[in-house]
A = this chain, B = another copy of it.
Amino acid sequence: MLSPVMHILRQKQIILASGSPRRKELVENIGLKVRLYPSLFEENLDPKSFSCFSEFVEETALQKVLEVDNRQRAEGNSPDVIIGADTMVTLDGEMYGKPRSEEEAFEMLSRLSGRGHTVYTGVAIKTVDQVIKFSEKTDVYFGKMNEEQIRGYIATGEPMDKAGGYGIQGAAGTFVERVDGDYFTVVGLPIYRVCSVLYDLFRQNK
């Protein structure tokens, strides 16, 4: 989608306000060169002060971008584009964070087994003169997992640092019967929407 503006984007300094190697891989797969610059924003927003999950992830993504922007300026840098994102797993109106123990991971995964849940990713994109934020959600349907399979997955160590206790791009991908939405929203960056926004931003500048 970006090929008509790629010659412009390739000359831009693009920063990903994230420490996630899989987000970096996603952005590089679409042909962009980016620098990872993990945000130090303490993810401490109170979910109760937001009317919906979308607003919460968008605001967290925005705060990550603004924090990185501030530090960049303090260092005398002025990146052309800063992209930030925040991903959240939800089920029955509840947010699922990172499990604090293997037992909690087991409980989370057991609840996800054999049914659908919803993953939200909020994105903020800051250029020199504007900030755009949006979010996407994708429904994910897990097949039935038996106890042995869940314990086996937990033993890989993968669930412990992941919201909802799983990473779709890892071994947990084999539990996913189908998704409805942008698959990459679940990986951590809704690629279609990110590219649409970048295309519109830089087409205007041609």
* Residues in chain A within 8 A of chain B (CB atoms): 1-4, 6, 29-31, 138, 143, 145, 148-149, 152-153, 155-156, 171, 173-184, 191-192, 195-196, 199
Chain B residues whose C-beta falls within 8 Å of the C-beta of A31 in the assembled complex: 171
Q: What 6 pairs across the A-B complex have the smallest Cβ distances?
A: A3-B152, A1-B174, A183-B183, A174-B195, A4-B148, A180-B180
Given known pairs A1-B145, A179-B183, A180-B178, the reply for A173 and B153 (CB within 8 Å) is no
Q: Is the interface of A mostly helix, strand, loop or mixed?
A: helix
State how many copies of this chain the complex holds: 2
User: Can you list 15 A-B contacts with CB-CB less than 8 angstroms, sorted by A residue number?
Assistant: A1-B149, A2-B152, A2-B171, A2-B174, A4-B148, A4-B152, A6-B152, A31-B171, A143-B192, A173-B191, A174-B191, A178-B182, A179-B179, A179-B180, A183-B183
